[in-house]
Amino acid sequence: MKKTLIAAVLLLCLFTTPAYAKFSFEDGDVTIVWLSDTQYYAKNYPEIMIKQIQWIIENRDKYNIQYVFHTGDLVDHANDDVQWERTDQILKMLDMTRIPYGVLAGNHDLVHTEQPYKVFTDHFGYHRFIRQPFYGGSFENNRGHYDLLTIHNQPYIMIYMGWDVNRSALNWMNKVLKDYRNHTAILAFHDYLNYKNERSPAGEELFQKVVLKNPNVKLVLSGHYYGTGFLETRLSEEQRVFQMLANYQAEKHGGNGFMRLLFFKASQKEIQVDTYSPYLNKFRPKKHLPKERFLLKLKE
């Protein structure tokens, strides 16, 4: 009877063991964290986003975390001051610990008035970041902006543009990318790629009018659409662009705390992507792989 019980326990462990039990981080890696569509946390589950930010702060040194992306929909209802106050205070934890980060406005972050961006810029406008050493510059009071970072002695530029990209925004991004042509560029949008691994109409316009014109663009990150997506586009023998969607808001509790971790390898040839929830203390289960853990080869 005892042996049968032990065998049953071992069998249960076999089928419940995560697909991968530890992070892909290796000594020498630089880690970037990517959050998106945290709107339901702001609305109903602020403790989950608090757990995410606390994990980033507590593991900053352990995993050499140097930057945090947020690709929009900070709140679910832009007219709800409580949601803005929650998100404001939670992200202020990064300000207080001086962890570089950037945000952009998703469609849920805008109000239906003549000044749709006002509530967003009241909380996350130019004034919030201007004294930060990583902050590079602003387009229309942080409707778009760029940050500058050095990873493994290579200069990087992180360019953000919020919802409803117009001609002026396209021109601004192209000018910044040309001014920083020697920087590896990562672009962050809200609407770009969908779960079918296809660019949306807005994403296709951004691809044609920004990505194709700037050979320093290597990564494009986006949210908005439920689920995950991945698209690799080879533009030449030397240039390939990796485009990713990560939005977990359809999961329980508005996302269950899942977020992306990007481990930049010291060789500058690879980026390992992991998906982890500090709230659950779990990786994504096996059924979601390989969409949730994969390797980006920047160079052959």
Q: Kindly report the number of other CB atoms within 10 A of residue 227's CB atom.
A: 16
Closest CA to 205 of 159, 245, 237, 164: 164
- The token pair that represents 274 in the structure block: 């992991």
143 burial via Cβ count (<10 Å: 0-12, 13-18, 19+): buried
Mean of pLDDT values over 59-77: 98
Which pLDDT score is estimated for 2?
A: 43
Q: Specify the 3-state DSSP secondary structure of 18.
A: coil
The whole-angstrom separation of Cα 20 and Cα 13 is: 14
- Give per-residue pLDDT as tens, 111-150: 999 999 999 999 999 999 999 999 999 999 999 999 999 9
Residue 92 near residue 128 (C-beta atoms within 8 A): no
DSSP labels for 145-172?
Answer: EEEEEEETTEEEEEEEE-SS--HHHHHH
Domain ranges of the chain: 18-297
The whole-angstrom separation of Cα 69 and Cα 158 is: 9
Q: Specify the 3-state DSSP secondary structure of 66.
A: strand
Termini Cα distance of the chain: 56
Which pLDDT score is estimated for 234?
A: 93
- Model confidence at 239, pLDDT cuts 50, 70, 90, reads confident
CATH T-level fold of 18-297: Purple Acid Phosphatase; chain A, domain 2 (3.60.21)
Provide the Cα torsion 117, 254, 224, 69; round to 10°: 70
- Give per-residue pLDDT as tens, 160-179: 999 999 999 999 999 999 99
Q: With b meaning 16 or more CB within 10 Å and e meaning fewer, what string describes 185-204?
A: bbbbbbbbbbeeeebbebbe
The whole model's pTM is what? 0.92
Which pLDDT score is estimated for 5?
A: 41
- Give per-residue pLDDT as tens, 182-218: 999 999 999 999 999 999 999 999 999 999 999 999 9
Q: Kindly report the number of other CB atoms within 10 A of residue 205's CB atom.
A: 14
pLDDT at residue 1 above 70?
Answer: no
DSSP 289: T
Three-state SS for 239-275 is CEEEEEEEECCCCHHHCCCCEEEEEECCCCCEEEEEE
pLDDT at residue 219 above 60?
Answer: yes
Long-range contacts of 18-21 (CB under 8 A, 24+ apart): 18/282, 18/283, 18/285, 18/286, 19/283, 19/284, 19/285, 19/286, 19/289, 19/293, 20/274, 20/283, 20/293, 21/283
Residue 36 near residue 246 (C-beta atoms within 8 A): yes
- Model confidence at 298, pLDDT cuts 50, 70, 90, reads confident
Q: Residues 30, 99, 37, 280: is their CA dihedral positive or negative?
A: positive
Q: With b meaning 16 or more CB within 10 Å and e meaning fewer, what string describes 272-297?
A: bbbbbbbbbeebbeeeeeebbbbebe
- The token pair that represents 207 in the structure block: 């691809």
